[in-house]
């Protein structure tokens, strides 16, 4: 994780401390949200940073996650708060990635950008590789995407993932394996397409 992500995590912690200081002004029935922010905030930021890699998108996804939590089914507390938070955040992050891909394609058509054959330096550019991987992850079927995001980006155990998604740990392993196989195929195709452009 980058230094910025660590600083952002610390900023979230300071914000949460401030939030807890003003908890007296919050309706008693909604204080559990502040508690959830305090308990899962840094872990959530880490996951969002790994998925999005962009300060503004991380901030937006973090805020959207807790806004959705605050408005969950007539402001009721979900049965499994952590599972709800991480699934909601990963869905928001994946939507942001999809939007980024769509916008990139739209701008490419508008400006008729011709990408020449990538130089060896660009081919090895880790930022390009990571962005391509993020775009491919956004296209995975939801059940595969959820597992790979929670396992490889949130770094949760298969047992935790199974509990959050209502599947067995063994099923989570199978889904991750399928997701990796699909990503490998798609990443290979992306590379071939870049070579021929």
pLDDT at residue 131, rounded to an integer? 78
Report the pLDDT value the prediction gives residue 18, as an integer from 0 to 100: 44
119 secondary structure, DSSP code: P
Read off the pLDDT of residues 127-142 as tens digits, 9 standing for 90 and up: 777 778 888 888 899 9
How far is Cα 119 from Cα 126, in angstroms, rounded to an integer? 13
Mean pLDDT of all residues in 147-176: 90
**Domains in the chain, ordered, with CATH?**
1-113 (1.10.1740), 117-197 (1.10.10.10)
As a whole number, the mean pLDDT across the chain is 77
Average pLDDT over residues 98-114: 66
Which residues fall within 8 angstroms of residue 98, CB to CB, at 6 or more apart?
Answer: 138
**Given this model, what pLDDT does residue 167 score?**
93
Which residues, in sequence order, are CB contacts of 73 under 8 Å at separation 6+?
Answer: none
DSSP conformational letter for 78: P
């Amino acid at each position: 994780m980058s230094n910025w992500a660590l600083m952002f995590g610390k900023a979230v912690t300071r914000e949460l401390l401030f939030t807890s200081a003003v908890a007296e002004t919050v309706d008693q029935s909604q204080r559990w949200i502040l508690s959830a922010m305090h308990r899962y905030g840094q872990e959530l930021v880490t996951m969002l940073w790994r998925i999005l890699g962009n300060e503004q998108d991380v901030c937006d996804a973090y805020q959207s996650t807790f806004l959705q939590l605050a408005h969950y089914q007539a402001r009721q507390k979900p049965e499994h708060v952590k599972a709800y938070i991480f699934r909601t955040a990963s869905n928001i992050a994946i939507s942001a990635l999809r939007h980024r891909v769509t916008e990139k394609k739209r701008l490419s058509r508008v400006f008729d950008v011709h990408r020449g054959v990538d130089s060896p330096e660009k081919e090895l550019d880790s930022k390009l590789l990571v962005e391509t991987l993020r775009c491919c992850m956004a296209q995975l079927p939801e059940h595969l995407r959820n597992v790979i995001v929670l396992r490889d980006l949130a770094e949760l155990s298969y047992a935790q993932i199974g509990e959050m998604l209502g599947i067995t740990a063994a099923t989570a392993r199978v889904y991750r394996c399928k997701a990796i196989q699909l990503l490998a195929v798609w990443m290979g195709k992306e590379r071939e397409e870049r070579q021929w452009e």
